[in-house]
Structure 1
Amino acid sequence: MRATMLLGGLAAAGALAGASVIFLGLYDTSARHGHWPIVSWALHTTFRNSVELRAPPEGEVPELTDGMARLGARHYDSACRMCHGAPGVLQSATVRAMLPAPPPIAQAVGDWKPNELGWIVREGVKMSGMPGWPSVRNDEVWPVVAFLTRVQTMTPEQYSALTGSAAADGPPGFGYCAGCHGTDGVSGNERIPRLDIQTPEYLEMALQTYRAGRRQSGYMAHAASAVPGETLRALAQRFAAGAAGSGGASDVRPAAGEAAGLDAAAAGGAAPLTSQAAGASHGSDEQKAVPAEDAMEGGGGSPAANDAQSTVAAGVAGASEGAMTRDQAEADDAGMTGPTPGSPTADAGSGPETGPTLMSDAEGAMQGAARAAAPPLDPVEQGRALAFALTGRRDVPACQSCHGPEAEKRRADTPSLSGQYRPYLEVQLRLWRDGTRGGGPRAELMTEAARRLSDDEIVALAAYYASLPAAAP
């Protein structure tokens, strides 16, 4: 009984002390005085242990390529440099007066492992002023991590070459946008989409949906909110004008593109950049960037995809008419309602009211099992069959009827896919399938169309469209 009373008294005293701190203002919240050493130790120790507990396994970290690092560097420069500084860029006096003060970036990276850096970038840090990633997408943090693993050995010249704005005439913010996308809309980095193949209407819609948070991307949500809202239409028109002014879709690449190695970005012959994570084992292939030597040439198709296309071109061209007739006859016999290329339904396929009727989950599962037992096809040939609805499936509509190639009535706010970068297409299709991408007024239709695609089918569709010549809108 006496022990119970003692514990009750201690609890009451603790509650009274806590209430006094909260309601009487006894705790000094001034950032000029700092924490007691024991408080600083407790906060930092808690932070490290929390990250180590919650970080993903090291095996889930994708290959941290130079192309990823270039993208991550540009986002860091716009969103993070103001607090953490950069190679050759000091933190401001105001930032250094924060409590806790954001450490300079080389110090902040410290001895954190890439998987731990990924968790920190995605989740942010409470009570420190560091925000979490501004999107539900988890894949986007790895380019920033790729940059962070290189920043400790990066020279000011290398950093400046990676992050400088493009010198070009245009509306406010154009140089900032062109730093990633190129002055003619060709990024040269397969993680950054080509804009030269899109209409100004589609580009404006995309910018508006990023700005409003209806389409998911931490990079683009930040970028679209960093430029004046009234300039979004002018920016879209400027990129469209750049493609037209170059005589059609262009293959010119800016200095920061995928084809330029990070060592080439360094001025004055500075040493090549190296990653702390070099030689580490990596996980999922679906997040890996395609190497620079696979960068697309000749209108946007990769050499591998173009070779594959030329190999199957004769067979596909020769068999396409018969295959289309045979498959459509089989589809008619089976009661399929998916449109065929050139049919009125396909030509009108610009909205949910004209979209194909999708099969049930059970029917899709049965067809999926049949497909798994079939011999593998060349990805480009398989992608073409999917795009033109020649596979006999009723659960995936014909991509071609809306996105081309040669769609007769493609809407101006519908993106062209021909010549787009293969890794970018794969990522976007996975986001559609998983229901996390978001977008314009017909986003639900695209989510429904993609939700039964397998990983192999996504790779095939991306390979097919990347193999096609890029065409100006």
Structure 2
Amino acid sequence: MRVNWRHLAIVLAVLPFIVLFVAWIGFFNVGASSGHWKITEWFLHFAMRSAVRTYALQVEVPHELPRHAIQTAAGHFARGCAICHGAPGEPRSPAALRMLPQPPELAQKIGEWNDAELFRIVKHGIRFTGMPAWPTQARDDEVWAMVAFLRALPPMEGEVYRQLAYGAGGTPSLRAVTIDQAVVECARCHGNDGAGRSSTIPVLAGQSEAYILESLLAFADERRPSGIMALASIAVDNQHFPELARRYAAMKSVGPPRPAPDPSLLEYGRAIATKGIVAANVPACVGCHEKPDRNPHYPNIAGQPSAYIKAQLELFRTGTRGGTRYSHLMAKVAKGLTDHDIEALANYFATLPASTATARR
């Protein structure tokens, strides 16, 4: 059979107008009550899986997932994911069961994806579903923390999940309207004592009111990128931010358990902290952060978890962390730090006594 190219060209030219006309008269049913045709459902899932697989090829998977960040990710999961996907001991919302497509129970589906594919889905979401992208595209460290949590999810018991996600803080409200509800929201990750519930969470107890308040505002306004804190901060009525800052500033800081790093690494960190690195234009850290009369917008980093300090220095070095009035100073300093420098500083400051902030309020 010979193909009449002239007729084929006419059909291809007219086809878009036919499709547009059919759409204009409302032929396509966009209602979710009847679901997709089987062929449509198959094609959408086929296209989604193929796209995730292809785009995941460019994802660089870390040598080891950050299991130390699982608690932080669990807190975010409880706030932003469990309502659709459910959680151990917590069934999916009845409304989610009527969604098209229906959000899957993740414990049953995680094994179908590799780490790179999970990262791709968590970071970028999936179009034409209710799966949103991560609240900020600048924090791959948070996305990998969620991947680590998802890997731990299938065998997780309900009590273990509740301890990770809520601690002693209790189940969060959909919107923290009162100050008591705001305290519960914060305590799920920061603890009732402000010491933080994992090594990726900062010690807030004893920080200055000015620093805590400015940080909360920066997170809520998305000037300081964090998908986890963005969701938590907008869940709290910002009229409570000053009171939250006062409460945490008044707490006595006890800090996390101190690590026992290699003595040579500890000494190198002390040298940088007290003398700086002249050749790299890195000033002594204690000149700004440990002075009793320091600027109240400079945090006290003594006694902070080493993993948290390391992550923040890396964010400063890449220019990712910002949004507060003095963040540009740290971004400039961090550019002169190597990975070894950061590791040494994080371990050194984590071993220092965490005392109540004495900065000017």
User: What is the TM-score when the length of structure 1 is the normalising length?
Assistant: 0.69
Query: Structure 2 vs 1, CA of residues 397 and 139 (structure 1 numbering), >3 Å: closer, same or farther?
Result: same
Written as runs of structure 1 = structure 2, the 5 A alignment for 1:377-396 is 378-393=264-279, 395-396=281-282
Do the aligned residues in 2 keep the contact of 1:171 with 1:231 (CA within 8 Å)? no
| One-letter amino acid of the structure 2 residue matched with residue 210 of structure 1 | F
Give, in whole Å, the separation in 2 of the partners of 1:470 and 1:131.
38
Equivalent position of 1:399 in the other structure: 285
| Aligned CA-pair RMSD | 2.2
Q: Shift in Å at residue 164 of structure 1? A: 2.6
Residue number in structure 1 paired with 2:35 = 34
Mapping for residues 227-246 of structure 1, pairs under 5 Å = 227-243=236-252
Aligned identity (percent) is 36
Number of aligned residues: 348
Which digits, 9 at most, give the CA deviation of each residue in 1:209-268, with x for residues without a partner?
A: 00001111111111111111111111121122232xxxxx224xxxxxxxxxxxxxxxxx
Q: Highest Rg: 1 or 2?
A: 1
Contact 1:170 1:238 in 2 (8 A): no
The equivalent residue for 1:156 is: 158
Shift of 1:443: 1.6
The equivalent of 2:135 in structure 1 is 134
The Cα shift of 1:66 comes to 4.5
Question: Which residue of 265, 283, 304 corresponds with 2:261?
Answer: 304
Provide closer, same or farther for how the CA distance between residues 394 and 61 of structure 1 changes in structure 2, counting only shifts above 3 A.
Answer: closer
- Aligned with 1:204: secondary structure? helix
Contact 1:418 1:467 in 2 (8 A): yes
CA distance in 1, matches of 2:227, 2:54: 25
Shift of 1:161: 2.5
Matched letter for residue 279 of structure 2: R
**Amino acid corresponding to residue 194 of structure 1 in structure 2:** V
62-71 or 185-194: which moved more? 62-71
Distance in 1, matches of 2:36 and 2:276, equals 68
Q: Name the structure 1 match of 2:56.
A: 55
Aligned-partner residue type, residue 396 of structure 1:
V
CA distance in 2, matches of 1:46, 1:179: 38
Q: Cα gap change, 1:107/1:440 in structure 2, threshold over 3 Å: closer, same or farther?
A: same
Distance in 1, matches of 2:13 and 2:323, equals: 54
Structure 1 unaligned blocks of 5 or more: 244-248, 252-295, 309-377
Amino acid at match of 2:125: G
What's the counterpart of residue 436 of structure 1? Answer: 320
Q: Which runs of 5+ in 2 are unaligned?
A: 171-177
Aligned to 1:417: 301
Distance 1:217 1:167 in 2: 21
Verify the 8 A CA contact 2:61 2:115 in the aligned structure 1.
no
SS at match of 2:321: coil
Write out aligned runs for 1:27-426 (5 A).
27-55=28-56, 60-64=61-65, 66-135=67-136, 136-164=138-166, 166-167=168-169, 171-243=180-252, 249-251=253-255, 296-297=256-257, 301-304=258-261, 308=263, 378-393=264-279, 395-404=281-290, 407-426=291-310
Distance 1:2 1:58, change over 3 A: closer
Q: How far apart in 2 are the matches of 1:148 and 1:408? A: 43
Stretch of structure 1 that moved more, 157-166 or 119-128: 157-166
d(CA) in 2 for partners of 1:435, 1:392: 21
Question: Aligned AA for 1:101?
Answer: Q
1:155: how far off?
Answer: 2.1
Post-superposition shift, 1:381?
A: 2.1
CA distance in 2, matches of 1:391, 1:447: 15
Residues in 2 aligned to 1:44 and 1:167: alpha-carbon distance in whole angstroms: 39
Report what 1:458 is aligned to.
342
